């Protein structure tokens, strides 16, 4: 494969350029067709627009480079003076450079020879050497034409292949799409068609957005450098727009060249610093403000994959590969997103994390890295609530751990690490000031031990009855676990979620109902009773019985049922019907909002 890419680059590069250009101008061709133009006329118009644009950019670059080359001799004294200053500051290190850089520095710093200098011979006599110049004979007209053609033919050949392929790609756009659908997944025609259309639209939007952003950046640089008075400002604006297609380093290549020219023109350093500052300001504004709003913070590629792809494609295809590295890699990632056989490409190069958040939580917990989990959780909770985090990350991660425990796939040491990590995370996120302290050993995965331990820790801070009884009537939410296993842990998490929202939530077990309660503990204090089950299919009968008993013991309270089955089992809960329940929730977030509404309704009575 690598040999094909390398030795076939003369053919593959123009074909790849043609397909990239097709994504760029396909929306323009479709717009022309909607205006009533035919397919061929629309394609030819779109290709003509691209041709004129590229020729204009090339003409600007050639003209500006010629003007810059003609003006450089005027700045030789300034360049020599600054090189000497830098050489003094570096204590001669700059002057000791070898190779082309050293020769260039020597050329600027050495005195210009005014002719041949006299040379003293060994016998004391002095003679002046005779300068000899060798001139090649003038080329004949046909030789001159052949030499010009030899230098111009390769780029013309490449451009010709690009535009011929581009025309046929646009003319046969629908046919190529159908062939790709047949190859990618003809068995599921509808899904494959949707995927291919979505991928094409995404790529077109991205390339058009990137093109417009780069052109706007080049325009801003051109105007800014013109105001600063830097020569060939149009050249640096154009180079900025072109080089910005190279990820990360492209814009700074243009910035470095423009800054060096500013240092050569201005005897001082103010213009060079202002030029560099202009590039810095423009890039910050574009990268942090315009690009995120237009097509997101990134291209959909991981930063490492962008760098690696730039190195790979520049090695295979040279400078053209460097410019095409991001579009090529993006096409591979989009293909991997929709084609199952290429899924590995999205995992390797895509921006999406390789592990889901619950998987990442469990993997970090197995390593005992609680601080990393807490950091990730707090970053998640900048935009989400604690209840949403527990629904989307914490509970699924605990179910993953429970599966491994059931299959005896984890060791006691790993189980202890998971236990400690989960304790630390729950207490840190629920506001416990002593979450970092070491706990006694218990199992997070079996017997509900961690739920009891967390409850005991909370009781040690709030008292035996988890708070005062001197509270208004109907202000307490009572939570109880149904069934064995980790129901106590799920119940404790619910209590902490409610208390985090300033709701007086307390927990108890069914065994506690038979124990004597203090005289001041009036049943009227309780507004809601919430029964929690993590295995609803197994606990369905127990939940029904518990709801009936709560309806008898606390008839004035609302009865809530919270069902938290494993999301990986996809259980069918249609058979779990609880007529005695006032509300059945399937998530912490839902039961939280239900409790808030119920408490608000009581407050308005």
Q: Are residues 155 and 297 in the same domain?
A: yes
Q: Are residues 290 and 380 in the same domain?
A: no
485, pLDDT greater than 70:
no
Q: 507 near 600, Cβ under 8 Å?
A: no
Query: What would the pLDDT profile of 115-169 be if each residue is shown by its tens digit?
Result: 555 656 656 666 666 666 666 676 666 666 677 667 667 777 777 888 888 888 8
Summarize the confidence of residues 585-595 as an average pLDDT. 90
Domain boundary among 347, 363, 392: 347
**448 confidence band (pLDDT: 50, 70, 90):** very low
Q: Are residues 303 and 386 in the same domain?
A: no
Structural domain contains residue 441: no
Structural domain contains residue 21: yes
Summarize the confidence of residues 483-508 as an average pLDDT. 85
Q: Are residues 515 and 412 in the same domain?
A: no
3-state secondary structure 510-548: HHHHHCCCCCCCCHHHEEEEEEEECCHHHHHHHHHHHHH
d(CA 129, CA 115): 10
Task: Give the total number of structural domains in the chain.
Answer: 3
Query: What would the pLDDT profile of 537-588 be if each residue is shown by its tens digit?
Result: 888 888 888 888 888 888 888 899 888 888 777 766 777 778 888 888 889 9
Domain boundary among 430, 453, 479: 430
pTM, two decimal places: 0.56
Q: Are residues 503 and 562 in the same domain?
A: yes
Phi-psi region of 98 (alpha: psi -120 to 50; beta: other; left: phi over 0): beta
Structural domain contains residue 212: yes
What backbone torsions phi and psi does residue 350 show, to the nearest 5 degrees?
-75, 165
Q: Which long-range contacts (CB under 8 A, 24 or more apart) does 313-321 make?
A: 316/2, 316/5, 316/6, 316/9, 317/5, 317/9, 317/12, 317/13, 318/9, 320/13, 320/17, 321/13
Residue 601: predicted pLDDT: 67
Length, in residues, of the chain = 605
Per the listing, tokens 């790849």 go with 16
Residue 354: predicted pLDDT: 62
Structural domain contains residue 125: no
Query: What would the pLDDT profile of 77-127 be if each residue is shown by its tens digit?
Result: 676 676 666 666 665 555 555 555 555 555 555 544 445 556 566 566 666
Partnered with residue 506 across adjacent β-strands are: 478
**435 confidence band (pLDDT: 50, 70, 90):** very low
Q: Are residues 338 and 360 in the same domain?
A: no
Q: Can you tell me whether residue 583 is helix, strand or coil?
A: strand
Q: The domain that contains 369 carries what CATH number? A: 1.10.1240
Q: Are residues 319 and 396 in the same domain?
A: no
Query: What would the pLDDT profile of 347-372 be if each residue is shown by its tens digit?
Result: 777 766 667 888 888 888 888 888 88
Residue 345: predicted pLDDT: 74
535, pLDDT greater than 60:
yes
What are the C-alpha distances in Å from 581 to residues 530, 549, 563, 590?
Answer: 9, 12, 12, 15
Structural domain contains residue 539: yes
Q: Are residues 341 and 373 in the same domain?
A: no
Q: Are residues 403 and 538 in the same domain?
A: no
Structural domain contains residue 449: no
Structural domain contains residue 126: no
Query: What would the pLDDT profile of 394-430 be if each residue is shown by its tens digit?
Result: 888 888 888 887 777 888 888 888 888 888 888 888 8
Domain boundary among 304, 322, 347: 347
Residue 281: predicted pLDDT: 92
Residue 278: predicted pLDDT: 92
Q: Are residues 333 and 393 in the same domain?
A: no
91 burial (CB, 10 Å; 0-12 / 13-18 / 19+) is: exposed
Query: What would the pLDDT profile of 215-234 be if each residue is shown by its tens digit?
Result: 999 999 999 999 988 878 88
Whole-number percent of the chain with pLDDT over 70: 76
Residue 351: predicted pLDDT: 65
Q: Are residues 475 and 571 in the same domain?
A: yes
Distance of CA 66 to the CA centre of its chain: 41
Q: Are residues 574 and 493 in the same domain?
A: yes
CA atoms 178, 182, 185, 189: torsion sign: positive
35, pLDDT greater than 70:
yes
Structural domain contains residue 110: no
State the chain's mean pLDDT as an integer. Answer: 78
Q: The domain that contains 531 carries what CATH number? A: 3.40.50.280
Residue 98: predicted pLDDT: 52
Domain containing 363 equals 353-430
């Amino acid at each position: 494969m690598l040999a094909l890419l390398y030795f076939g680059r003369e053919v593959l590069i123009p074909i790849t350029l043609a397909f990239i250009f097709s994504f760029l101008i396909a929306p323009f061709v479709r717009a022309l067709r909607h205006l009533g133009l035919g397919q061929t006329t629309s394609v030819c118009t779109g290709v003509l627009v691209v041709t004129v644009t590229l020729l204009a950019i090339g003409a600007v670059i050639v003209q500006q480079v010629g003007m810059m080359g003609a003006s450089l001799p005027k700045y030789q004294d300034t360049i020599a003076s600054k090189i000497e200053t830098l050489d003094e500051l570096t204590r001669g290190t700059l002057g000791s450079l070898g190779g082309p850089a050293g020769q260039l520095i020597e050329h600027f710093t050495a005195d210009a020879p005014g002719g041949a200098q006299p040379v003293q011979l060994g016998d004391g006599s002095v003679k002046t050497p005779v300068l000899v110049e060798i001139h090649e004979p003038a080329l004949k007209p046909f030789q001159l034409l052949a030499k010009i053609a030899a230098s111009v033919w390769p780029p013309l050949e490449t451009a010709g292949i690009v535009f011929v392929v581009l025309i046929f790609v646009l003319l046969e756009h629908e046919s190529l799409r159908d062939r790709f659908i047949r190859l990618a997944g003809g068995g599921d025609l509808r899904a494959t068609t949707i995927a291919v259309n979505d991928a094409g639209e995404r790529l077109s939007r991205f390339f058009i957005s990137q093109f417009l952003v780069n052109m706007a950046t080049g325009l801003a640089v051109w105007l800014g450098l013109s105001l600063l008075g830097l020569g060939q400002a149009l050249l640096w604006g154009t180079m900025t727009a072109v080089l910005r297609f190279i990820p990360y380093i492209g814009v700074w290549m243009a910035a470095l060249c423009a800054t060096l020219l500013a240092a050569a023109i201005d005897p001082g350093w103010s213009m060079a610093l202002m030029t560099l500052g202009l590039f810095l300001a423009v890039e910050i504004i574009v990268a942090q403000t315009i690009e995120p709003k237009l097509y997101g913070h990134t291209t959909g590629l991981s930063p490492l994959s962008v760098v690696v792809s730039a190195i790979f494609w520049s090695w295979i295809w040279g400078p053209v590969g460097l410019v095409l590295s991001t579009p090529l890699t993006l096409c591979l990632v989009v293909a991997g997103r929709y084609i199952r056989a290429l899924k590995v490409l999205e995992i390797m190069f895509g921006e999406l994390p390789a592990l889901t958040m619950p998987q990442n939580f469990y993997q970090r917990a197995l390593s005992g890295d609680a601080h990393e989990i807490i950091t990730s959780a707090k970053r998640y909770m900048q935009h989400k609530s604690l209840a949403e985090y527990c629904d989307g990350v914490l509970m699924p991660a605990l179910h993953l751990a429970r599966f491994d425990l059931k299959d005896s796939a984890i060791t006691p040491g790993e189980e202890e690490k998971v236990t400690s990590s989960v304790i630390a995370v729950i207490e840190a996120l629920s506001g416990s000031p002593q979450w970092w302290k070491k706990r006694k050993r218990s199992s997070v995965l079996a017997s509900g031990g961690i739920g009891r331990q967390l409850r005991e820790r909370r009781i040690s801070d709030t008292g035996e009855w988890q708070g005062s009884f001197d509270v208004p009537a109907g202000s307490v939410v009572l939570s109880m676990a149904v069934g064995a296993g980790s129901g106590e842990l799920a119940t404790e998490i619910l209590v902490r979620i409610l208390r985090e929202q300033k709701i007086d939530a307390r927990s108890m077990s069914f065994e506690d109902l038979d124990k004597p309660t203090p005289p001041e503990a009036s049943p009227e204090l309780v507004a809601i009773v919430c029964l929690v089950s993590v295995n609803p299919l197994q606990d369905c009968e127990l939940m029904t019985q518990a709801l009936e008993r709560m309806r008898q013991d606390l008839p004035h309270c609302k009865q809530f049922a919270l069902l938290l089955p494993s999301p990986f089992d996809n259980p069918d809960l249609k058979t779990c019907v609880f007529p005695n329940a006032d509300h059945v929730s399937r998530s912490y977030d839902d039961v939280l909002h239900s409790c808030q509404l119920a408490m608000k309704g009581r407050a308005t009575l």
